Amino acid sequence: MATVSFDKATRIYPGSTKPAVDGLEIEIEDGEFLVLVGPSGCGKSTSLRMLAGLEDVNGGAIRIGDRDVTHLPPKDRDIAMVFQNYALYPHMSVADNMGFALKIAGVNKSEIRQKVEEAAKILDLTEYLDRKPKALSGGQRQRVAMGRAIVREPQVFLMDEPLSNLDAKLRVSTRTQIASLQRRLGITTVYVTHDQVEAMTMGDRVAVLKDGLLQQVDSPRNMYDRPANLFVAGFIGSPAMNLVEVPITDGGVKFGNSVVPVNREALKAASDRGDRTVTVGVRPEHFDIVEQGGGEAAKALTKDSADAPAGLAVSVNVVEELGADGYVYGTAQVGGEAKDLVVRVNGRQVPAKGTELHVVPRPGETHVFSSSTGERLTD
């Protein structure tokens, strides 16, 4: 097993002046499961391919353990890669596919068979060892690709969106199997996905990239609770965090007909920059609905008018009923502009489409960002 280190690693494709990956700096611990996540074109697959030796490194360095592998060919890096399309040999049996790398390396047949059978047992593939890939389902082929990586006993697993070809239900079960398998084997793993739910459920840590730049690397819980900037806040979480630009006022921020108290140091930091507004982030589950009793949030607010209800008026456009919970997708007028909001509600008290709710954020559950730079201002 080994650590992995990206030391200001940079990749600039020929004919381009803008780096696809710009000064990537991450330390991955021995046995850690790190997930690289971000939208298409953010540089996550390029980062993985640089680690694999499939892309040149134009600046900085990459280390596996104590070895600088920046310019080593892939075969000398002691890594195993699982691809999006499985990359199985169609004319070979499952057993031959899994043991092919060992055969090329000159390992004797009995040892290859032993390693293949051990991996097949772990992956529940024993009864399929004599079949060809075309006789397997997508999920089974994906496990064969995993088995091929396991038998090599590499220092590092690299996985490039291995679940993207599976249907939704199979993706959920297979991601659980992969995470469980990695913890059992204890092999350092770097996993690339565009699916932030996949990232949050699988990784020990998650690294978010945008336009080739690392935005934040942290545990899933910390990233959810303390996103470093507006991009991470809007990207991590399903449904996404509501981000509303609101004016700063005495005692907090102006949120509809109410003043919502927020971190004073954050407001001071914004004022020191000359900002008159801040962007407040609120998770869908951190709104209280005033008409349904209001809760603690409503009691903490001051209303501008005795006639106007507290909070922000949200017109209900769509309601997703999920059983225990429901999600209201609505529109609110903020600063003279229509703003889409998502609010989680009790699954037994779902509002009707076309009605109006008044919502307020719960004190202590807001995130404050600079509207000008996008940086987090709250501790």
Q: What is the pLDDT of residues 275-285, one digit of tens each?
A: 888 999 999 99
Burial class (CB in 10 A: 0-12, 13-18, 19+), 42: buried
Q: Each residue of 11-31: b (16+ CB within 10 Å) or e?
A: bbeeeeeebbbbebebebeeb
Helix (H, G, I), strand (E, B) or coil at 261: coil
CATH of 4-235 among 3.40.50.300, 3.40.47.10, 3.40.50.1110, 3.40.50.720: 3.40.50.300
d(CA 198, CA 188): 18
78: left (phi over 0), alpha (psi -120 to 50) or beta: left
Helices 168-185 and 138-151 cross at an angle (nearest 10°) of 20
Task: Dig out the tokens for 41 from the structure.
Answer: 């074109």
SS3 of residue 212 by DSSP: coil
pLDDT given for residue 308 in this prediction: 56
Stretch 187-203: mean pLDDT, rounded? 93
Q: pTM of the predicted model, to two decimals?
A: 0.87
Cis peptide before 239 (omega within 30 of 0): yes
Element (H, E) at 183: helix 168-185
Q: Which CATH class is domain 242-370?
A: mainly beta
The domains of the chain are located at 4-235, 242-370
Rounded mean pLDDT, 215-234: 95
What pLDDT does residue 283 have?
Answer: 95
Q: What is the pLDDT of residue 291?
A: 59
- One-letter identity of residue 218: D
Structure tokens at 253: 């921020």
